[in-house]
Amino acid sequence: MASAPSLVQSLKPSTSTDSATRAELSEIDASTKAPALFFLISSVLWLLVGTAFALIASFKMHSPEFLGDYEWLTFGRARAAHLNTVIYGWSVNAAFAVAFWLMARLSRSVLRHPTLLFVAGAFWNIGVSLGVIGILRGDSTSIEWLEFPSYATPLLFVAYALIGAWAVITFRFGKSKHIYVSQWYILAALFWFPWLYSVAQIMMIFDPARGTVQALVNWWFAHNVLGLWFTPIGLAAVYYFLPKVLGKPIHSYYLSVLGFWSLAFFYNWAGVHHLIGGPVPAWVQTAGIAASFMMVVPVVVVAINHHMTMVGSFGALKYSPTLRFIVFGAVSYTLTSLQGSSMAIRSWAEVTHFTHYTVAHAHWGMYSFFTMVMFGSIYYIMPRLMHKEWPSARMISIHFWATAIGIIIYVAGLSWGGIEQGFALNNVEKYPVFLDIVELTKKYLLSRSYAGILITVGHIAFAVNFTWMLITPSRKGATAPTLFRNPASMEMTR
Amino acid sequence: MNRAPLIFLGVFVALAFSWTGIILTNQVAYGNLTPYYDETEEAVFPVATPGLAARGQLVYQDLGCVYCHTQQVRRPGYGSDIERGWGERQSVARDYIREKRVMLGTMRTGPDLRNIGARQADPTWHMLHLYDPQITSRGSNMPPFRFLFEQRKIIGEASPDAITLPTSYVDGTPLPPHSLPAEGYELVPTERAKSLVAYLINRKDTYAYPETFNVFPEDDAGEAEAKTESEGEGH
């Protein structure tokens, strides 16, 4: 266990009572303030825009006449606008902020020339805005996850390159001797994303491959952007905040290494399972299915590691907002990943493929896991950037319960509806008329809209609290963190 | 710090592995798949898409039809695509080689459209269906595409392209007033509507390539299912 002390050490600076280390951390946090705040404010704005598109698209699915005469809001465009705003607007901006802040802290490195990063961030957001406007006015490429028209994507790529380079520089100039597991994930994700994105752009939009090779590129990209970009960033955050908030090291260093490498090698083949039964070579489908099964390894390993870290500290969930969101996210990661592996089983894919079940699964991953982890991270990071506390614990509580219950209703309803839909689709004798199957799914589509309203309430509570925090001046002497309730005996380290 | 290059190498190899396996290998293997020349028919398949239909694909793209409609027929015995009449055979890679953008789709909120032209070739049906899906498919959750039609004042003779709406849906409910043209006006499909309908009618893979006969040799399960089906017909 030679590495154990160094791991503890890498966690130690921030929890240290040594004033020099605390001063250093404070200096690091201060250097990340401007760009991190910029990314976070952008992400919250995009979250609201994305939620609005989500509601519109969801309502249209059961009430097609809703806003039916607005071409720019027709279902096909509202849905694409929703996906792209929540992915490239909310999720990526939040990921940038969290990745940067973690990277600077863990590398013990002051962020150099933050203004340049700020410029890159501005370009990223201009690119996203252009892309979304493009979709709404009818320039969508209709490639899932890559709908932005070709006049927006080069801008995104250049902005990304600058942002990625900055993170690597921050890492290189770091003083920390040890590379903490969160840094592994972040560095890998920063490297993988541009590769995925550039190959997909070139082979699908600028110089399209012939025939269904396009579909292979599409799902290689779209699934890997989840597994090799959002998942590593999400896991990096869990690996940092879980031990951080609890004030104890992660359960096992070796498990985190195993979890990392098995994710790296198995995930990137898994995407082909979106094409099971489709007109692509059978061997790639089989390889995709095998890789999806193998994903059980990293998922279980990470689950054990996180769970064993939590054991004995579940009581802390009553107090810490960060912990509550992070744990909700971590548990969702395990469940949705296992579900994902099961969906690659041929006989199960025969039922669930092409149904709302897949949509539920996607939201379980991107929302229950990633988005919740980002919320948790933001609750931790913002006070350190702003030197003030969250104004309202009640708002945080509303945010948590509305989004948690909302997404559970969402996933449960659509999963069940998707299963019914899938069995009906495959049963021509009982359901010879397609419209009867549509009728069958309507009540579940309606349940999704209700869930969406609940989630919107949560997002509004979050945005209000966030804005309130930005505009109120910090009160002198108010240094206690905002918790759901104040424990008598529990001291939360800042 | 000294381990960083090693981590980077591993990270690189990981993605290079799938990039080579999924993308590069398949690009080499069938990325240059050519059309098939049928000597007896003296024709090349798949046939080229006519200009109007090709423009229609862009309309299909910009309206996001792909989010509810697949364009791929699964093989017999896997799903019930063939039994639903969505195609005579499973889709194969060669079907798509002439398409600039391949839109297989991942969702069947609506039916598969790979062979919609073979089962519904009437442009009038498609026009009415696009204008208000409730006219042809009461209960559908497909959005109306009324914005693809122009309300034009009738001057002199009516336009031959103009669509005629029924006064009520199949269940007797009258059409909502906002979807009816004003007195003295007619509803004329725009160029986009016409090209979209041309594209839809063009959707059919009726030609059977040699590879469509033995892409997936019938496994035991498939045979068993085929047997129960023929038994079912006997009753």
pLDDT, tens only, A86-101: 999 999 999 999 999 9
Q: How confident is the model at residue A283 (pLDDT cuts 50, 70, 90)?
A: very high
CA A488 – CA A480 distance, rounded (Å): 13
Instruction: Mark yes or no for CB contact A213/B31 under 8 Å.
Output: yes
Query: Are A211 and B99 in contact (CB < 8 Å)?
Result: yes
- Residue of chain B nearest A184, judged by CA positions: B7
Helix (H, G, I), strand (E, B) or coil at A186: helix
Tokens matching residue A211 = 């025939």
Q: Phi first, then psi: what are they for A316, rounded to 5°?
A: -65, -20
Residue A7 has pLDDT above 80, yes or no: no
Residue A327: HSE in the Cβ half-sphere, 13 Å Cα cutoff:
22
Cβ distance of A438 and B141 shorter than 8 Å: yes
Mean pLDDT computed over A347-363: 96
A414 touches chain B (CB under 8 A): no
Of residues B225 and A456, more confidently modeled: A456
In the prediction, which pLDDT does B18 show? 93
CA distance B192 to chain A (A): 12
B29 touches chain A (CB under 8 A): yes
What torsion, rounded to 10 degrees, do the Cα atoms B136, B137, B143, B146 define?
A: 10
Residue B48: DSSP 8-state: P
Nearest CA in chain A to B136: A435
Given a cut of 90, whether residue A72 has pLDDT beyond it is: yes
- pLDDT value at residue B4: 82
Q: Which of B162, B197, B194 is nearest to B181 (CA)?
A: B162
Cα distance from B155 to chain A (closest Cα, Å)? 26
Shortest CA distance to A418 belongs to which of A326, A350, A490, A352?
A: A352
Among positive and negative, which fits the CA dihedral A218, A222, A228, A233? Answer: positive
Amino acid A3: pLDDT? 35
Task: Read off the pLDDT of residues A228-261 as tens digits, 9 standing for 90 and up.
Answer: 999 999 999 999 999 999 998 999 989 999 999 9
Distance (Å) of CA A400 to CA A202, A277, A329, A333, A456: 40, 39, 11, 17, 12
Share of chain A above pLDDT 90, in %: 78
Task: Kindly determine whether residue A438 and residue B139, on different chains, have CB atoms separated by under 8 Å.
Answer: yes
Closest CA to A199 of A187, A209, A188: A209
CA distance, residue A131 to nearest chain B CA (Å): 13
Higher pLDDT, A265 or A15: A265
Hey, what are A494's tokens?
């800042």
State the residue for tokens 């993988």: A192
Question: How many beta-carbon pairs below 8 A join chains A and B?
Answer: 225
Q: What are the Cα distances from residue B211, in Å, to B26, B42, B73?
A: 17, 19, 15
What does the pLDDT average to over B18-42? 92
Contact A60, A66 (CB under 8 A): yes
Query: Which two tokens mark A98?
Result: 């969290």
Model confidence pLDDT, tens digit, residues A19-50: 777 788 888 888 888 899 999 999 999 999 99
CB contact under 8 A, A354 and B75: no
Residue B231's pLDDT band, with cuts at 50, 70 and 90, is: very low
Residues of B in contact with A275 (CB under 8 A): 104
Which tokens go with A458?
A: 């949560």
**A111 burial via Cβ count (<10 Å: 0-12, 13-18, 19+):** buried
Q: Is B188 helix (H, G, I), strand (E, B) or coil?
A: strand
Helix axes A92-107, A114-136, angle to 10 degrees: 160
Compute φ and ψ for B170, nearest 5 degrees: -60, -30
| Range of A27-41, A311-325, B53-67, B213-227 with top mean pLDDT | B53-67
Chain B residues within 8 A of A144 when measuring between CB atoms? 66, 106
**Integer Cα distance of A459 and A250 in angstroms:** 31
Q: In angstroms, what separates the C-alpha of B174 from chain A's closest C-alpha?
A: 15
* Coil/strand/helix, residue A409: helix
pLDDT of residue A482: 81
Closest CA to A277 of A358, A346, A355, A362: A346
Residue B102: Cβ within 10 Å count: 26
Task: Name residues whose C-beta falls within 8 Å of residue A200's C-beta, 6 or more positions apart in sequence.
Answer: A146, A217, A218, A220, A221
Name the minimum distance, in Å, from the CA of A238 to any CA of chain B.
20
Work out the average pLDDT over A129-148. Answer: 96
ipTM of the complex: 0.90
Residue A11 confidence class, pLDDT cut points 50, 70, 90: very low
């379980």: which residue's tokens? A364
Q: CA dist A120 to A107, A155, A161, A462, Å?
A: 22, 10, 9, 26
Write out pLDDT tens, residues B135-173: 999 999 999 999 999 999 998 888 899 999 999 999 999
Percent of chain B having pLDDT more than 70? Answer: 90
Q: Does A184 touch chain B (CB under 8 A)?
A: yes
Residue A6: predicted pLDDT: 40
By the CB < 8 Å criterion, does A74 face chain B?
A: yes
Tell whether A274 lies on the interface with B, counting CB pairs under 8 A.
Answer: yes
Q: How far is CA A455 from the centre of its chain?
A: 16
Cβ neighbours of A404 (radius 10 Å): 19
pLDDT at A5 over 50: no
Cβ–Cβ contact B8 with A under 8 A: yes
Comparing CB atoms, the residue among A217, A228, A275 nearest residue B15 is A228
Task: Give which of A274, A177, A268, A194 is closest to A227, Cα–Cα.
Answer: A268
| Interatomic CA distance for residues A427 and A78, integer angstroms | 31
What pLDDT was estimated at residue A491?
47
What are the pLDDT digits (tens) for B179-196? 899 999 999 999 999 999
Of A188, A216, A354, the CB nearest to B26: A216
Task: Give the one of B7, B72, B140 whose C-beta lies nearest to A279's C-beta.
Answer: B72
Chain B interface includes A200 (CB < 8 A): no
Residue whose C-alpha is closest to residue A291's, from A308, A305, A306, A274: A274
Q: Residue A204: closest CA among chain B residues belongs to which residue? A: B101
Parallel/antiparallel/unpaired status of strands B36-38 and B43-45: antiparallel
- pLDDT given at position B2: 63
pLDDT at residue number A17 = 54
Comparing alpha-carbon positions, the chain B residue that sits nearest to A72 is B63
Provide, as residue numbers in chain B, all residues whose Cβ is less than 8 Å from the Cβ of A253.
none
Q: Which has more confidence, A85 or B5? A: A85
Q: How far apart are the first and last CA of chain A?
A: 29
Partners of B63 on chain A (C-beta within 8 Å) are 74, 76-77, 138
**In A, which residues are within 8 Å of B1 by CB distance?**
174, 177, 179
Instruction: Read off the pLDDT band of B220 (50, 70, 90).
Output: very low
* Count of all residues that appear for chain B in the document: 235
User: What is chain B's mean pLDDT, rounded?
Assistant: 89
Would you state the structure tokens that stand for residue A84, as one six-digit string? 């792209």
Contact of A394 with chain B, judged by CB distance below 8 Å, is answered with: no
B120 or A472: whose pLDDT is higher?
B120
Contacts of A203 in chain B (CB under 8 A): 23, 27
pLDDT score of A306: 94
Residue A485 has pLDDT above 80, yes or no: no
The 10 Å Cβ neighbour count of residue A389 is: 18
